Amino acid sequence: MILASRPSPANERSRQAIVLAGGFGTRLRSVVADVPKPMAPVGGRPFLSYILDDLEGHGFSTVVLAVSWRREAIIDSFGDKYGTLKLRYSIESAPLGTGGAIRQAFALVDDDSAFVLNGDTFQRLPYEAMHRLLLREASDAVVAVRNVSETSRYGAVELQQSRICNFRSEGAKGRGLINAGAYLIQRRLIEDDALPESFSFERELLGLSVRTKILTACPVDGDFIDIGVPEDYARAQIEVPRWREEARQ
């Protein structure tokens, strides 16, 4: 179910994002209970507010929040506006996986492309560079990739120049590039009629598209944290508010 009808196309292209905010937060239950991961308190504020602050600061106009479990906590807290951002809600009445959630949320996007972010991850992204790559390479998707000392938690990305040629499964060890979980994708990639109703964007779409679609890598570095495990959630209490203050100076 989608809350609100699809808006009319804008006269000018605007920067829009989809934030996946429907996670159950299973691994965080020991420290944060009964709220979706994006609503986990960090520095006295919902974690999601830091993501929205960053998007607002980069000139985004509209954010579609893909929500599911305990969605009322998000909708009641943020409503239909956050600062200068218009907020729209794509509601999963049944689990759709990351792929199904993105496809449904695209019904509330005005443009033919949109940035897609995870609601449990904060990172600095080169939005302009990702958009230039999308146009220059005629990409179906631009994937943010990050160089890390240990890829085993995430799985590794293999490149041929700037084009992604393989996503290795979790368990690959050592230094390498990982999928940082942020994308700029074309509508045509996600609205393929052959896709099932519920599917994984990472495994069942990106992983199977490396030979048939143009997937371009955009290296990113700098601030990054995923609050999916208690240790990183504890680190976020210090790091994320500091990053926000630095960005405001």
Q: Which of 121-125, 150-154, 196-200 has the lowest mean pLDDT?
A: 150-154
Split at pLDDT 50, 70, 90, the class of 2 is very low
Write the CA distances from 165 to 141, 161, 198, 212, integer angstroms: 13, 9, 25, 10
Residue 222 pLDDT > 80, yes or no? yes
Residue 133 pLDDT > 50, yes or no? yes
Note the pTM of the prediction, 2 decimals: 0.91
Fold adopted by 16-122? Spore Coat Polysaccharide Biosynthesis Protein SpsA; Chain A (3.90.550)
Average pLDDT on 191-208 reads 91
Give CA 144 to chain center in angstroms: 10
Write the CA distances from 217 to 17, 64, 162, 168, 184, integer angstroms: 18, 24, 5, 15, 10
Strands 62-67 and 16-20, bridge-based pairing: parallel
Which pLDDT score is estimated for 1? Answer: 42
Distance from C-alpha of 219 to C-alpha of 247, rounded to nearest angstrom: 21
Which pLDDT score is estimated for 10? Answer: 35
Residue 4 pLDDT > 50, yes or no? no
Domain boundaries, the chain: 16-122
| Residues in contact with 41: Cβ distance below 8 Å, sequence separation at least 6, in sequence order | 32, 47
pLDDT in tens, 138-187: 999 999 999 989 888 788 999 999 999 999 876 678 899 999 999 999 99
pLDDT in tens, 50-91: 999 999 999 999 999 999 988 999 999 999 999 999 999 999
Write the CA distances from 62 to 87, 102, 231, integer angstroms: 6, 15, 32
User: What DSSP assignment string belongs to 152-182?
Assistant: TTT--EEEETTEEEEEPPTT--SSEEEEEEE
Which pLDDT score is estimated for 7? Answer: 40
DSSP assigned state of 139: -
Distance from C-alpha of 211 to C-alpha of 151, rounded to nearest angstrom: 23
Which pLDDT score is estimated for 24? Answer: 64
Q: On the CB side of 4, how many CA atoms lie within 13 Å of its CA?
A: 19
Cα 122–Cα 125–Cα 126 angle in degrees, nearest 5: 175
Average pLDDT on 38-48 reads 94
Distance from C-alpha of 27 to C-alpha of 33, rounded to nearest angstrom: 10
8 A C-beta contact, residue 37 and residue 2: no
Which pLDDT score is estimated for 171? Answer: 64
8 A C-beta contact, residue 46 and residue 240: no
Average pLDDT on 105-129 reads 96
pLDDT in tens, 5-38: 344 333 344 599 999 998 765 666 666 767 888 9
